[in-house]
Structure 1
């Protein structure tokens, strides 16, 4: 199969061949079968570590393997990368935490200077490449790479140690690189004396076979026959590869979804639920067990939930709970992790309640909604966004029928996880034919909190979308569905609890899996305007890609002078301003809830509805940031360039936001003036 991969043109983007993942069944000497999976591994050194940990933890979860007796992770590292890359420390830190612990990992460091051309004294400050593992006090075995029997023995020792103690261990195999960084490299450019020694040194195969002949384990003839047999096998497989016309890229999938049946006709399942289900989840969500003492502030939050439920209304937290709770009822395992997710960074969620009197007594209402529901895992994480996002991606891989959510404490904090986004998530399906339904929640909003607590960097995620700004797909009954199927991932900025409910449930309702990035609100979590009716989530309802103006402007569209498209919390600021200035009949405001895939058809319909209106896109972000540069050409394409698309928002800035109240007020005042100008 490897030879075929080199010779046959792929339908995917392709990658360095040994970066591809694979999954296959193997049989040991006693006849027992087991699966070996290798996760696709990009060149960004060590990024795959926590992906493997997450995948291992998920496999253990689905097998009921709490002690890790059935599923084990093995990580193979280069010496330079193990000592130098921060992901190593993050993966070690994660490895013993509850809800993340894979019950011991065997680390193998190939200590042969394969990383690049420098010497060890320029590559690390410690004596051994493996020294960073001492933070966990794990056993470290240094093995001479010239001694295969000793290396094999230590491998067995580590396997038994891991199985016995469910703990990490490390094998540091000390050797040398024969040809430099790769087969075409000339290592003598930088290490001439070392390579004089290496090239005079007999290879492991020569040394070991000579030792076996001297010990009369094998004869010279036996060795030659083994070499001929091996060469013959390679030649035979290479010829087969040349005869093969095509291969299935799914053969390189590290965890095939064998039991996942995609319907012949691609259709979307309903995302709505019955009112009885909604009321039941809501009641559980605001009710605590008898005798459980809740913090006073949370008591008020629970009372608000109860009052909203009686009015058949929901806020953001209730919308989230409806999505997760209803999926749990349907047997869908849900997992929510990240910094502060149990209560929510902005103290809105409170999925885990802590008894104020009894230590370690907690109540998680969504874990006990129904007797036969699926398992709900909600857990705060350690402070390592890069490693955590990789872990949750890995957790999403074994099972397509699970909702796996990672939330950044602030959207800005996902900056630390950007390499995982770039190498695994946005391009994973194209590079490795690897689908994932992972959800990333990024709290976002310009609210004067400064440049490190405001922007989820919408522009970064939009520039990774594989959508042509100049091409408007043909409009038909399956327009929205076809877009979802063809795009690489989904990027949204929801403004209503109903839409967050539908978009989360849609992750499971789709007959395929796509990653989802949602820019979530901060101030809107408690804004009384950001509420939805139960009617918006009942059977027959669905995610709204755009939300049109439903005010006075929509009643007499021919009189409207200005049509503003916008996304996120700025919508509520605009409508309040228009109400204050009594301009609701002259300015229409339409929310774009889903950036990617872009709702070309609905934007065109809105444009046609207001024949005399000037077209604007308004955003709270700076002009060189946010969604403006993504949205503007797509609006233009939607309307055939009939009218220019103008900008309303902050001026350009090097920083994503400011934390100065004076500047914040000045920017806001200018934004408001531009919004109401006719």
Structure 2
């Protein structure tokens, strides 16, 4: 076969074969090249070369199906018919000369030898799936790199590093098993390849110049990973396993089980240093994945690539949890990408007691990753050299293409789901095979002796030294003293821990009026060359007029001023959520789109100074994954404002696991602090059960120890102060904003710039400061306050009825409320809410008043909708009738008991 001279690249023969089958299947430049070089149909290659092309293509596509991936040898290895025919054809012509491009280089061989080499490479203890990679160049690079790496002789130093990892893991687990036989440890026995992979990957990352690696983990092998990979002091780890509380976290600190805890440390190789951190995680294992990817993005230099994101999974969770799809999708989106994540799936070949065939319908536990074109390396976990090489290849792919890659580490569990479980009840045959298998330490030590005769003796010495270190740590368990908690991130230095009393102290968040007006002008200016939609242009014109006048500041303008003033002070701002850039209610218009080109401008971003920038990201249709990502982002730096907005507040229920496991509890469990803002549009407006309620009652049930802030701002100025307080306060807490819908366009709901001026702050209780005591004080929260005010005015009851709006529900502003109520003597107190009686803030407010001596003996009457199993009715007519009745009852002074 005569081929063009310019076609000596590593992927020539593959692309040339594709061109011959279908010219339109190759990139246009290659198609033109072949057509110009060989007019007409290309000449048929010689028989040997044609067979070589088919062999290479066949093994690259199907070889993984025949690979020996199961260390136990129990999994079926189907013979691929196409490969069988190719092998038979090659065997039938043993001396047939062929030319083939493997590992990026052309080589002369025979068909039989080529078939044998391909069988060894692609159907040995490693299987490569790359057909889902649509980029031809990337796929061909991957094949060439795979072939070069796995065809090479085993370096002695790599084999010794793998042995060290296995010995350390085995020594650790043996020691723990003896010392703590009744403790759950989710040991790594049977999956020691995990430790090999991690130590090799982190070594390569350190040598490659990464400044930091952030890891999201799992239970399996967590303790061994902490001890043998991340370098956690074994004495501290052993004390935690025993059950000692070594952190003086105060009354609101609960701690967690040892295999949930995180750790931060360093690794060093050849004079280079790299920071390492593994995030704490809950028993909902996949929940940590979006948190860590968000953390990785938050830690990266803007536009840089100095942080590696590594996620560890188990097979049952990875194939069973829908969150996996959300995380994988996020990895390829501009607002969320982290330069590619390496996913290592520890494939136990079983869930708790659930066989693979009961837990998934796909062939592989990693098959979901193929939907985003991520290549997959399937590796036999009992081949440590192959595992180490897979780590090197994974990092090389990540560095070159900045895309996700999956490792399917096929292994087994020597014990049950945890060490207290008996797996032989449900999988007797599987565990019969496991029981009859030598440990990986035994088998690999014997195998490596052929490469390095000194390896067994050196490994034994390493084990003895590590065992002695653990013995010393064990002996010192009782003498360890509680400390001040884990060392915090440098970025968090100076941010105080805060309980409920500190959160109730006022924080000055105002900005001088003229400065605010100056910032507002700049943030409302659409570039002259832009051609906005006429209604958007009018929106910005009206905003600018309000800012110039200093009056009629609505919610959207107040929010924009909060963002702009922070950006002008050098504080980065990130907002994400479904349709959040325009705003679900067409209220925000952060981006101005040119009607002719579609190019977008962010006027608010123009005021940023220093290293500040504005990220405004329309998220995919995800709550669970995206909220987790934004929470993780908020952990990276307290000097940024990170916000997530639900399309409707009800949609938080799609991310309830993230709320429960991280946002409201992570500080108590793991001393993680966050200033995340969660914005939940709320209000009953006749839009039906699913677009009405932020489920305030659920959030308030989760409040304790000053863990979060729940606010329902009823004025634009209060929203302005709330958002600025998140970065101006000396503390950081997650803030749940019960965000307005109807109030976005309520004419009475406006503020002045003076309410945001220097010396002003958030007002947790909005009090009218009536001149004389009223007969009835109606307490409420949110938009119903405006409806009550309108109803009161229409009835002429301004002197008879006082209205108090609670703009912060938790921490409960008891001092401010007591002061406001004291002016009304013995007036009747009544709580009015539009939510049903079993929902909203009613029960919480009643409990707060009952538990405070200042309110003792006073009953809080209530007006609400009757208890319902849904948030609201389904018709506007019903809504309006009920709402009018609520207002009437709340203002009916003839009723002794409302």
Specify the TM-score bucket, using the shorter chain as the normaliser: over 0.9
Task: Report the CA distance shift for 1:158/1:136 in structure 2 as closer, same or farther (over 3 A).
Answer: same
What CA distance in whole angstroms lies between the structure 2 residues aligned with 1:570 and 1:193? 65
Aligned partner of 1:24 in structure 2 is: 265
Bigger mean CA offset, 666-675 vs 41-50? 666-675
Match of 2:565 among 326, 329, 333: 326
Aligned partner of 1:442 in structure 2 is: 680
Establish whether residue 647 from structure 1 lines up as the match of residue 896 from structure 2.
no
What aligned pairs does 1:557-636 form with structure 2 within 5 A after superposition? 557=773, 560-636=774-850
Establish whether residue 297 from structure 1 lines up as the match of residue 297 from structure 2.
no
Find the residue that maps to 2:284 and give its secondary structure.
coil
The Cα of 1:325 is off from its aligned counterpart by: 1.0
What CA distance in whole angstroms lies between the structure 2 residues aligned with 1:448 and 1:209? 71
Aligned partner of 1:495 in structure 2 is: 714
How large is the Cα RMSD of the aligned pairs? 1.8
Establish whether residue 121 from structure 1 lines up as the match of residue 357 from structure 2.
yes
Aligned partner of 1:257 in structure 2 is: 491
What CA distance in whole angstroms lies between the structure 1 residues aligned with 2:799 and 2:515? 39
Aligned partner of 1:43 in structure 2 is: 283
Find the residue that maps to 1:397 and give its secondary structure.
helix
Contact 1:351 1:365 in 2 (8 A): yes
Contact 1:72 1:105 in 2 (8 A): yes
Match of 2:881 among 663, 666, 673: 666
Aligned partner of 1:194 in structure 2 is: 430
Contact 1:440 1:516 in 2 (8 A): yes
Task: Report the CA distance shift for 1:224/1:578 in structure 2 as closer, same or farther (over 3 A).
Answer: same
Task: Report the CA distance shift for 1:67/1:162 in structure 2 as closer, same or farther (over 3 A).
Answer: farther
Establish whether residue 466 from structure 1 lines up as the match of residue 696 from structure 2.
no
Contact 1:329 1:373 in 2 (8 A): no
Find the residue that maps to 2:395 and give its secondary structure.
helix
Aligned partner of 2:580 in structure 1 is: 341
Find the residue that maps to 1:670 and give its secondary structure.
helix
Alignment deviations for residues 410-450 of structure 1 (CA, whole Å, 9 cap, x no partner): 10111101111100010111100111100000000000001
Task: Report the CA distance shift for 1:174/1:237 in structure 2 as closer, same or farther (over 3 A).
Answer: same
Aligned partner of 2:746 in structure 1 is: 527
Match of 2:607 among 369, 390, 397: 369
The Cα of 1:286 is off from its aligned counterpart by: 3.0
Contact 1:23 1:256 in 2 (8 A): no
Bigger mean CA offset, 190-199 vs 663-672? 663-672
Task: Report the CA distance shift for 1:228/1:285 in structure 2 as closer, same or farther (over 3 A).
Answer: closer
Contact 1:341 1:380 in 2 (8 A): yes
Match of 1:549 among 752, 768, 773: 768
The Cα of 1:549 is off from its aligned counterpart by: 2.2
Task: Report the CA distance shift for 1:637/1:233 in structure 2 as closer, same or farther (over 3 A).
Answer: closer
For the pair shown, the structure with the greater C-alpha radius of gyration is 2
What CA distance in whole angstroms lies between the structure 2 residues aligned with 1:514 and 1:497? 21
What CA distance in whole angstroms lies between the structure 1 residues aligned with 2:743 and 2:455? 78
Task: Report the CA distance shift for 1:451/1:132 in structure 2 as closer, same or farther (over 3 A).
Answer: same
Task: Report the CA distance shift for 1:528/1:381 in structure 2 as closer, same or farther (over 3 A).
Answer: same
The Cα of 1:373 is off from its aligned counterpart by: 6.4
Aligned partner of 1:473 in structure 2 is: none
Alignment deviations for residues 108-163 of structure 1 (CA, whole Å, 9 cap, x no partner): 00001463111100011111111110101111011011111110111011011100
The Cα of 1:502 is off from its aligned counterpart by: 0.5
Contact 1:114 1:180 in 2 (8 A): no
What aligned pairs does 1:207-226 form with structure 2 within 5 A after superposition? 207-218=443-454, 220-226=456-462
Aligned partner of 1:405 in structure 2 is: 643
Aligned partner of 1:180 in structure 2 is: 416
What CA distance in whole angstroms lies between the structure 1 residues aligned with 2:608 and 2:421? 61
The Cα of 1:270 is off from its aligned counterpart by: 2.6
Bigger RCO of structures 1 and 2 (CA < 8 A, at least 6 apart): 1
Establish whether residue 103 from structure 1 lines up as the match of residue 343 from structure 2.
no
What CA distance in whole angstroms lies between the structure 2 residues aligned with 1:512 and 1:377? 23
What CA distance in whole angstroms lies between the structure 2 residues aligned with 1:220 and 1:433? 43
Aligned partner of 2:593 in structure 1 is: 354
What CA distance in whole angstroms lies between the structure 1 residues aligned with 2:562 and 2:366? 44
What CA distance in whole angstroms lies between the structure 2 residues aligned with 1:210 and 1:237? 31
The Cα of 1:104 is off from its aligned counterpart by: 0.5
Aligned partner of 2:736 in structure 1 is: 517
The Cα of 1:641 is off from its aligned counterpart by: 2.2
The Cα of 1:238 is off from its aligned counterpart by: 2.2
What CA distance in whole angstroms lies between the structure 2 residues aligned with 1:33 and 1:370? 33
Contact 2:570 2:609 in 1 (8 A): no
Alignment deviations for residues 267-325 of structure 1 (CA, whole Å, 9 cap, x no partner): 87530101122112222333211132111222232232133223312110111111111
Establish whether residue 13 from structure 1 lines up as the match of residue 254 from structure 2.
yes
Aligned partner of 2:100 in structure 1 is: none
Find the residue that maps to 2:561 and give its secondary structure.
helix
What CA distance in whole angstroms lies between the structure 1 residues aligned with 2:716 and 2:510? 13
Establish whether residue 417 from structure 1 lines up as the match of residue 655 from structure 2.
yes
Bigger mean CA offset, 235-244 vs 606-615? 235-244
Contact 2:506 2:761 in 1 (8 A): no
What CA distance in whole angstroms lies between the structure 1 residues aligned with 2:634 and 2:394? 28
Establish whether residue 166 from structure 1 lines up as the match of residue 380 from structure 2.
no
Task: Report the CA distance shift for 1:99/1:643 in structure 2 as closer, same or farther (over 3 A).
Answer: same
What CA distance in whole angstroms lies between the structure 2 residues aligned with 1:285 and 1:225? 67
Find the residue that maps to 1:157 and give its secondary structure.
helix
Find the residue that maps to 2:366 and give its secondary structure.
helix
Aligned partner of 2:150 in structure 1 is: none
Task: Report the CA distance shift for 1:164/1:260 in structure 2 as closer, same or farther (over 3 A).
Answer: farther
Find the residue that maps to 1:555 and give its secondary structure.
coil
Aligned partner of 1:471 in structure 2 is: none
Find the residue that maps to 2:378 and give its secondary structure.
strand
The Cα of 1:637 is off from its aligned counterpart by: 3.6
What CA distance in whole angstroms lies between the structure 2 residues aligned with 1:114 and 1:516? 40
Task: Report the CA distance shift for 1:50/1:432 in structure 2 as closer, same or farther (over 3 A).
Answer: same
Aligned partner of 1:33 in structure 2 is: 273
Establish whether residue 505 from structure 1 lines up as the match of residue 505 from structure 2.
no
TM-score (ref. length: structure 1): 0.92
The Cα of 1:247 is off from its aligned counterpart by: 3.2
Contact 2:681 2:694 in 1 (8 A): yes
Find the residue that maps to 1:565 and give its secondary structure.
strand
Task: Report the CA distance shift for 1:549/1:258 in structure 2 as closer, same or farther (over 3 A).
Answer: closer
Find the residue that maps to 1:47 and give its secondary structure.
helix
Find the residue that maps to 2:281 and give its secondary structure.
coil
Bigger mean CA offset, 36-45 vs 439-448? 36-45
5+ residue gaps, structure 2: 1-235, 894-898
What CA distance in whole angstroms lies between the structure 2 residues aligned with 1:8 and 1:223? 32
What CA distance in whole angstroms lies between the structure 2 residues aligned with 1:633 and 1:616? 14
Task: Report the CA distance shift for 1:321/1:358 in structure 2 as closer, same or farther (over 3 A).
Answer: same
Find the residue that maps to 1:615 and give its secondary structure.
strand
What CA distance in whole angstroms lies between the structure 1 residues aligned with 2:484 and 2:493? 18
The Cα of 1:619 is off from its aligned counterpart by: 0.6
The Cα of 1:18 is off from its aligned counterpart by: 1.7
Task: Report the CA distance shift for 1:375/1:458 in structure 2 as closer, same or farther (over 3 A).
Answer: same
Alignment deviations for residues 528-568 of structure 1 (CA, whole Å, 9 cap, x no partner): 11100111010111100101124xxx1121xx211111000
Find the residue that maps to 2:386 and give its secondary structure.
helix
